[in-house]
Amino acid sequence: MLVKEIMKRPFVIEKDISLKEAAKMMKDNRIGCLILVSDDEISGIITEGDLTRNFGRQEKISKIMSENIVTVEADEEMDKAVGIMKKNKIKRLPILNKGKLVGIITSTDIIANFEELEDEFIFE
């Protein structure tokens, strides 16, 4: 199975916002992360874990977001994506197509597709 077969549309923002605004956007849209994009490049990712760890702080997301983003191409096999997530201890993986952000997969997506993936590779 290819990554693009289970990826979802990412929730992208293009400006630096407050943690409070980020939390509201995540809550209202029922999502676990926001991806900050500038000039068609991923600048950073902020997750609900980042918000929880920084609860009560009056900061912009750029102060706490992860900036060295690990990604995978949409045409890669799912076992490669899972390996990347496992190696980097991340729950969300932005998906690129020729360097452009096109999607995201999460550990929840992998679990939801476990039966289909199970025949292709074995979790260690």
pLDDT digits (tens, 9 = 90+) for 27-81: 999 999 999 999 889 999 999 999 999 988 899 999 999 999 999 999 999 999 9
- Sequence-ordered alpha helix ranges (H) in 19-75: 19-29, 48-53
Q: Look at residue 94 and tell me if it is in a domain.
A: yes
Q: Look at residue 124 and tell me if it is in a domain.
A: no
Q: Look at residue 66 and tell me if it is in a domain.
A: yes
CATH number for the domain spanning 105: value is 3.10.580.10
- Which of the four pLDDT bands, split at 50, 70 and 90, describes residue 121? low
Q: Look up the domain containing 16 and give its range.
A: 3-118
b/e code 15-47 from CB counts within 10 Å (16+ = b): ebbebeebbeebeeeebbbbbbbeeeebbbbbb
- Which of the four pLDDT bands, split at 50, 70 and 90, describes residue 120? low
Per the structure, how many domains does the chain have?
A: 1
Per residue in 76-99, pLDDT (tens digit) is: 999 999 999 999 999 999 999 998
Q: Look at residue 123 and tell me if it is in a domain.
A: no
Three-state SS for 62? helix
Q: Look at residue 77 and tell me if it is in a domain.
A: yes
pLDDT at 44: 95
Who contacts 109 (Cβ-Cβ below 8 Å, separation ≥6)?
6, 7, 8
State the Cα–Cα distance between residues 4 and 123, nearest whole angstrom: 20
Q: Look at residue 43 and tell me if it is in a domain.
A: yes
pLDDT at 91: 94
pLDDT at 124: 47
Q: Look at residue 86 and tell me if it is in a domain.
A: yes
Q: Look at residue 103 and tell me if it is in a domain.
A: yes
Beta bridge partners of 13: 36
